[in-house]
A = this chain, B = another copy of it.
Amino acid sequence: MASGTFSRRVTAADIAKSLGVSRATVGFVLNNTPGQTISEGTRSRVLAEAERLGYRPHTAAQALARGRSRVVLLVLPDWPIEYSMGRNIEEASLALEEAGYSLVTYTRHDSSRTRPLWETLNPDVVMGMLPFAAADVESMRASGVPHILPSPDVPPSWEQGASVTVGPSLQVQHLVELGHRRLGFAASSDPRLSKLVEARSAAVRAEAARKGLPEVAELAVGIGDTSAAAGAVATWRADEVTAVVAYNDDVAAMVAGAAIRSGVSVPSELAIIGHDDSPLAGMFVPSLTSVHLDDAGFGRQLAAIALHAAEGLPLPDADPAFAARVVRREST
């Protein structure tokens, strides 16, 4: 029967009344407001009463009063997100929650005529994987979003950093260590991925040049398009390519599948390395060598960047967080 009655929620005023102090005092205690002196007795009595009554601050009221919502909006791209992204987000969410923020994820479906979530959620921070379109930035500014990441004002964004290039570099290094010199790059033909594909492709070419390899033969492979994959394999073979760097594990699987079907043995005739170390990489036959990224570290980095923007907290120096390593399996 205790929980049966649909009781109004407990407010700070309830605590104050029950204790015979003013509501302001309660507020000062609960917020540890600096510059306020509260006696130890009162402080502990307020905290105990809050606990006893099951007080929960009303987020909407807080947001209204202080003008900040403590919500971080993470805008996910419309394209199929990487496998590791899910774990990143979970970790970031955890780190933000510990700082009193809520992470809300939002997939932007540009076909939609409805108002984007940042206009209705009043987030303190909006984060994206890639820089936002000018129209979106305008809309965020108009809705009063205080912080936009990557910042539209600073062209070189954080996502262009080590997190993108370290994986492709490792892919190339691994193949070179195995003695391969003539490499192919299997891009994804999905137009939505073009920016990321391009970034990884550039990183691969840069690493190849650094190692003094001949030019990398780049071909596009569509997920589900087996004939394109078969064509790519044939072209690479004709071109004397012995190893293929794939944009990600899905593309790697397409290439490996096409190779097997056309009688090209993996890895002896064609080695293949993927990226992301998705579950698929371990399950495929032959299992796929891939690059494993430190999801948790990346997620925490994401959270740190948001907190840096929102509260000026220091950014963790360097990025041992972006640790990546090659997981060698049967395909190389």
Chain A residues within CB distance 8 Å of chain B: 3, 8-9, 54, 56-61, 63-64, 69-70, 80-81, 86, 89-90, 93-94, 97-98, 102, 104-105, 107, 109, 112, 114-115, 117, 119-122, 138, 141-144, 223-224, 250, 253-254, 256-257, 260-261, 279-280, 282-285
User: Other than the known A90-B107, A105-B105, A257-B283, what 5 A-B pairs have Cβ atoms closer than 8 Å?
Assistant: A8-B144, A56-B115, A257-B285, A284-B284, A285-B285
- Residue pair B284, A257 in contact (C-beta under 8 Å): yes
- Residue pair B223, A250 in contact (C-beta under 8 Å): no
Copies of this chain: 2
Docked pose: A282 CA to B94 CA in angstroms: 34
- Residue pair A9, B144 in contact (C-beta under 8 Å): yes
Question: Known interface pairs A3-B138, A59-B121, A94-B114. Does A279 touch B261 (Cβ–Cβ under 8 Å)?
Answer: no
**Choice from B63, B98, B260, B283 contacting A253 with Cβ under 8 Å:** B283
A81 CB to nearest chain B CB (Å): 8
Question: Known interface pairs A107-B93, A120-B59. Does A254 touch B283 (Cβ–Cβ under 8 Å)?
Answer: yes
Question: Which residue in chain B gives the minimum CB-CB distance to A111?
Answer: B94
**Choice from B54, B61, B86, B143 contacting A56 with Cβ under 8 Å:** B143
- Residue pair B283, A223 in contact (C-beta under 8 Å): yes
Docked pose: A89 CA to B249 CA in angstroms: 24
